[in-house]
Structure 1
Amino acid sequence: MIQHLDIPRPDDWHLHLRDGAMLQGILPETARDFARAIIMPNLVPPVVTAEQAAAYRDRILAALPEGADFQPLMTLYLTEDTDPADVAAAAASGLVKAVKLYPAGATTNSHSGVRNFDRVMPVLEKMAEIGLPLCTHGEVTTAEVDIFDREAVFIDTILDPLRRRLPGLRVVMEHITTEEGVAYAAEGGDNLGATITTHHLIINRNHILVGGIKPHYYCLPVAKREKHRLALRRAATSGNPRYFLGTDSAPHIDALKEHACGCAGCFTATNTMPLLAHIFEEEGALDRLSAFASENGPAFYRLPVNQARMQLVRQDAPTTFPEKIETGAGPVTVFNPGFPIHWSVKR
């Protein structure tokens, strides 16, 4: 049995940091383990322009603990009024590494998202020209589509037609949750990547609903059937360069999770790497954890693999993780896998 694992320091290719007191409270949880992260722009108001992205980056850097080595990789929120020239300038400066597509109403703070895709084609054409990735929240939001089918319908009706229309557009299918997502990403070629979250490798929809509603397992895209979870596990542990880690770690204070209309999101920044070591060990794929967490993402984003290293250690006693992170905005519950974890990051 492997007791020690040494990998390049990992990156998180899909992360929510929020702002203000929440940012101050939860940023150290990511900066402790991850060298870089793609930062989601769905603040209120959203991060739409290069100027707003620069200001948000500065707030993140100001909130870093002393001595922390962490680089926020900024994104812009795609709206029907986004200026292609502003996007191109932000990319050319190195400030912005991607643009985020939220179909309007798909998830938290997505109401400014896209309804009419024809209106954003000039931006997408410019992105295809300059090689700037489009990160997609891959769900349709039409009322007649069942919430468990939103991802598959998005692939068929929006993503595939878009990629046929703009074959040069580089696309990340964020937080895929289905067999259909796994299969489409596998056949998508070099211009397509897919992130997989930690929590979707662990929970299926039963974890949310059986024995009472578990609000801290509720996320969007919602966890699906067990067959989909198993497909995600096979993809993540395959070593295929199309798949890489994007935790979608999404903090909400407990009062807004444990609520009559609870917020969507699982907070996994604190314990993702030990959880992934456990998963990859179960799948007999510890030798492929480096590809998933540290190598495939940089390759897609055309960035170097981190030179710094991370050591993961397996011990006999279960690792203890904090139940909550206390922030100035309120307590945030850390994702609980529901079983003992014997891996930890060596500090």
Structure 2
Amino acid sequence: MTESLTIRRPDDWHLHLRDGAMLEGVLPWTARHFARAIVMPNLVPPVVTGAEAAAYRERILAALPDGMTFEPLMTLYLTEDTDPEDVAAAAESGLVKAVKLYPAGATTNSASGVRDFDKVRPVLERMAEIGLPLCVHGEVTRREIDIFDREAVFIDEVLDPIRRATPGLRVVMEHITTAEAAAYAAEGDETLAATITVQHLMLDRNDMLVGGMRPHLYCLPILKRGTHRPKLVEAATGGSPRFFLGTDSAPHPTHAKEAECCAAGCFTAPVALSCLAEIFDEADALDRLEAFTSLNGPAFYGVPVNEERITLTRGAPIDIPAKIETGAGPVSVFNPGRPVHWRVT
């Protein structure tokens, strides 16, 4: 049995850092393990222009504790008023690495997202010209569509038509949750990739709902039926370059998670790598963990892999903190409800 594993320092290709006191509180938990991260732009107000992305990047770097190294990879929030040339200029400068598509109302702080996809076609066409990836929150938001079916419907009604209408557009299907999404990504060409989260690899909707509602496991896209999880594990551990890690670590104050209408998101940053090693160990695929966490993402985004290494060690179950303290209030840490034996040493 493998007891120790050394890999290149990972990157997180989908991360929420928020702003202000929350940013200051959660950033160190990502920076201690991850070298870089694609930072989500769904602040209030959202990060729409290159100038706003530059200002947000400066706030992130200012919040980074002394002695820690971390590179925020910035994104822009796609709206129906986004200027294609501003996007192109921000990408050419090296500041922006992707544009994020939120269907309006799909998740936290997505009210400014896209309702009419025809209105963003000029932006998508410009992105295809310059090779800038589109990161997609893949859910439709029509009320008549069951929440557990929204990802599959999005692929058929929105994503596939967008890709057919915009040849060459590079697309990341973020936080995929279904067998249908895993199959669609696997069958794609080199312009298509998908990220997978820790919670969707470890849990299904029974973990969230049976015996009582567990609000700290509530996220969007929501945890799905148990038949989907093995397909996600297969995609993550199978060695395909189409799949890589995007934790979607999403901090909310504990009181917002434990409210009558609770906020969506799991704060996984402190335990993400430990949980992933557990998953890959169970799948007898530890030799493929480095590709999923450290190699496939840089290859798709066209950035160098990290030279620094980290080591994970297997031993007694780790102690998962119940909460971390931030200036915006305590934040509850994701707990899968079962022993996790790997730790970063």
Same structural fold, with TM-score higher than 0.5 when normalized by the shorter chain: yes
Deviations 1:54-89 (A, max 9, x none): 000000000001011100000000000000010000
Give distance in 1, aligned partners of 2:80 and 2:127.
15
| Pairwise CA distance, 1:321 | 2.3
Partner of residue 91, structure 1: 91
Give distance in 1, aligned partners of 2:332 and 2:255.
10
Partner of residue 343, structure 1: 342
Partner of residue 281, structure 1: 281
Correspondence 1:56-67 to 2 at 5 A: 56-67=56-67
Partner of residue 332, structure 1: 331
Give distance in 2, aligned partners of 1:320 and 1:159.
40
Correspondence 1:24-103 to 2 at 5 A: 24-103=24-103
Aligned residues: 345
| Pairwise CA distance, 1:323 | 1.3
The one-letter code sitting in structure 2 at the alignment partner of 1:261 is C
Give distance in 1, aligned partners of 2:224 and 2:63.
35
Partner of residue 134, structure 1: 134
Correspondence 1:94-133 to 2 at 5 A: 94-133=94-133
Q: Does 1:215 align with 2:245?
A: no
Give distance in 1, aligned partners of 2:306 and 2:296.
12
Q: Does 1:2 align with 2:2?
A: yes
Give distance in 2, aligned partners of 1:166 and 1:122.
10
Correspondence 1:188-227 to 2 at 5 A: 188-227=188-227
| Pairwise CA distance, 1:207 | 1.1
The one-letter code sitting in structure 2 at the alignment partner of 1:334 is V
Corresponding residue SS for 2:168: coil
Corresponding residue SS for 1:240: coil
The one-letter code sitting in structure 2 at the alignment partner of 1:253 is P
Corresponding residue SS for 1:226: coil
Corresponding residue SS for 1:147: coil
Give distance in 2, aligned partners of 1:330 and 1:225.
33
Deviations 1:93-115 (A, max 9, x none): 00000000000000000000000
TM-score normalised by the chain length of structure 2 = 0.99
Give distance in 2, aligned partners of 1:341 and 1:145.
36
Corresponding residue SS for 1:135: strand
Partner of residue 185, structure 2: 185
Correspondence 1:143-154 to 2 at 5 A: 143-154=143-154
Correspondence 1:169-318 to 2 at 5 A: 169-315=169-315, 317-318=316-317
Give distance in 2, aligned partners of 1:71 and 1:87.
20
Give distance in 1, aligned partners of 2:196 and 2:166.
24
Give distance in 1, aligned partners of 2:72 and 2:320.
25
Partner of residue 164, structure 1: 164
Give distance in 2, aligned partners of 1:72 and 1:183.
30
The one-letter code sitting in structure 1 at the alignment partner of 2:196 is I
Partner of residue 20, structure 2: 20
| Pairwise CA distance, 1:163 | 0.4
Give distance in 2, aligned partners of 1:295 and 1:337.
26
The one-letter code sitting in structure 2 at the alignment partner of 1:328 is G
Give distance in 2, aligned partners of 1:212 and 1:320.
24
TM-score normalised by the chain length of structure 1 = 0.99
| Pairwise CA distance, 1:337 | 1.1
The one-letter code sitting in structure 2 at the alignment partner of 1:285 is A
Give distance in 1, aligned partners of 2:23 and 2:265.
15
Corresponding residue SS for 1:97: strand
The one-letter code sitting in structure 2 at the alignment partner of 1:322 is P
Corresponding residue SS for 2:325: strand
Give distance in 1, aligned partners of 2:338 and 2:146.
31
Deviations 1:103-136 (A, max 9, x none): 0000000000000011100100000000000000
| Pairwise CA distance, 1:336 | 0.4
The one-letter code sitting in structure 2 at the alignment partner of 1:183 is A
Give distance in 2, aligned partners of 1:65 and 1:313.
26
The one-letter code sitting in structure 1 at the alignment partner of 2:97 is K
Percent of matched pairs sharing the same residue:
71
The one-letter code sitting in structure 2 at the alignment partner of 1:28 is P
Corresponding residue SS for 1:98: strand
Give distance in 2, aligned partners of 1:113 and 1:247.
21
The one-letter code sitting in structure 2 at the alignment partner of 1:204 is D
Report runs of 4+ in structure 1 exceeding 6 Å deviation: none
| Pairwise CA distance, 1:322 | 1.5
Give distance in 1, aligned partners of 2:313 and 2:206.
31
CA RMSD for the aligned pairs? 0.5
Give distance in 2, aligned partners of 1:341 and 1:119.
46
The one-letter code sitting in structure 1 at the alignment partner of 2:221 is P
Corresponding residue SS for 2:148: helix
Give distance in 2, aligned partners of 1:205 and 1:341.
20
